[in-house]
A and B are shown apart, each in its own frame.
Chain A
């Protein structure tokens, strides 16, 4: 009974769907989180009657074949990278990216990771670091006698020192953009790593053509829309139930057969 196996692939697909939706809902308040979507594809087909084959020796051909699909599979889980809303925090080291791009972060292993979560703070030596204490490239150090930090839309970090009026530029943050954002490998902790699918990053200062701008005192909220997620969840749950209905029906048909004597 093919119907049993086919319905099982359907239930598995809907389970994946519910898992992706629940991860989106769990991350609805995660800074810089991009909602994900499970993508499905139909599985291969079994031909009962091949289209185009000859139906007689007079060269008449079968105009439409008979083929039965064998179920569904998960093709991929894609992040949808539309802009999250910007939330004002007034913290001078909170940065939101308006537009394209990722901040570059140096991991303890020396690798470079990428993030859109700009909730930065200062390490004991004054270096700008992420919430996990990883250095934000290019590793700008803020002296302890700085009275205020300003980061403008092109990523320039300026400070005012105690007793001075003219601001002093310490450095400039850079953003990286990728040909295919969806190809980045999520590492958790809002960090992403470059992969063969994402392509090589192009880095430039914020505000250049094709790059976003930085906004001080703001954080980018997750782009999860709760209403959409809940409706998707209901749809996925109903689809799951329908597949289980098919299993019940196919099982009843088998029972009918085994009861013949």
Chain B
């Protein structure tokens, strides 16, 4: 009999996770190249405990089976920093060498380290098309980065080619925080990355979508809680009546 309450509870838990995801999207509304996350719910069928075979339908619990990311590009913002690079092609990713291996990122806020290597915010070097860090010479100033990833200086011409890749299975990527993604699989070079120098890609979080989604989740949550309450009252009522009949 309490199966109704259990199903409602499974949905309450899923809604809580969904709320955490909305909160994370809104918290990252100013994180460059952040991609909004979405929850995917599914039903988990279980045979009804009171069912005679073939007469009653299964009951469906709610589970949050997976999350996916909105892969569209965010808006592009001019920053003026020569090592801020936005990627126009929504499928292309930069590669950076971290302590734990090669990771992918679209947040192109790079800078020069003390030994003139192009590094990201954490000091991890950006890799060129051959997988090596890019180090500039002492005399290289006036850096320009072409749309195809060619990095050249006013003094010495072409210095390196920034390597942009695309994971063969984007759904296998896992986020590691710090705007980094682990591809969890092979990557292939991207021919036309459409880089834009002195620009950054904004977060693609849409405030309207998130807030509407949040209100929706909240209402559904209170509706379910109300349902649980009524169900509890109904059982209480039934029990009172049954014990009254017995007396």
* Segment at the interface with A among B88-96, B111-119, B159-167: B111-119
- How many chain A residues touch B (CB < 8 A): the figure is 72
Distance between B223 CB and nearest chain A CB, rounded to angstroms: 10
Interface assignment of A183: CB less than 8 Å from any CB of chain B: yes
Interface assignment of B10: CB less than 8 Å from any CB of chain A: no
A253 with B16, Cβ < 8 A, contacts A80-B81, A82-B80, A182-B111 known: yes
Return the CB mask of B61-78 against A: 1 if under 8 Å, else 0: 000111110000000000
B221 touching A242 by the CB < 8 A rule? no
Distance between A27 CB and nearest chain B CB, rounded to angstroms: 16
B23 touching A52 by the CB < 8 A rule? no
A180 touching B114 by the CB < 8 A rule? yes
Query: Which bucket holds chain B's interface residue count?
Result: 35 or more
B175 touching A51 by the CB < 8 A rule? no
Contact of B155 among A10, A45, A209 (CB under 8 A): A209
| Number of A-B residue pairs with CB-CB distance less than 8 Å in the complex they form | 213
Contact of A45 among B15, B174, B217 (CB under 8 A): B174
A41 touching B179 by the CB < 8 A rule? yes
B171 touching A13 by the CB < 8 A rule? no
A64 touching B225 by the CB < 8 A rule? no
A239 with B30, Cβ < 8 A, contacts A42-B179, A48-B64 known: yes
A242 with B29, Cβ < 8 A, contacts A49-B65, A70-B24 known: yes
Contact of B211 among A17, A78, A245 (CB under 8 A): A245
Interface assignment of A197: CB less than 8 Å from any CB of chain B: yes
Which chain A residues in 87-107 approach chain B with CB under 8 Å? 100
A112 vs B179: C-alpha distance when bound (angstroms): 37
Q: Is the interface of B mostly helix, strand, loop or mixed?
A: mixed
A223 vs B121: C-alpha distance when bound (angstroms): 23
Q: Which chain A positions have C-beta within 8 A of B29?
A: 10, 239, 242
Q: Which chain A positions have C-beta within 8 A of B177?
A: 41-45, 69-70
Contact of B176 among A39, A44, A66, A236 (CB under 8 A): A44
Interface residues of B (CB under 8 A from A): 12, 15-17, 19-24, 26-32, 34, 37, 39-40, 64-68, 79-81, 107, 109, 111-116, 121-122, 138-139, 141, 155, 171-172, 174-179, 184, 207, 210-211, 214-215, 217-218, 221-222, 225, 228-229, 232
Interface residues of A (CB under 8 A from B): 1-4, 6-7, 9-10, 13-14, 17, 37, 39-45, 47-49, 51-52, 62-72, 75-76, 78, 80-82, 100, 179-180, 182-183, 196-200, 202, 209-210, 223, 235-236, 238-239, 242-243, 245-246, 249-250, 252-253, 256-257, 259-261
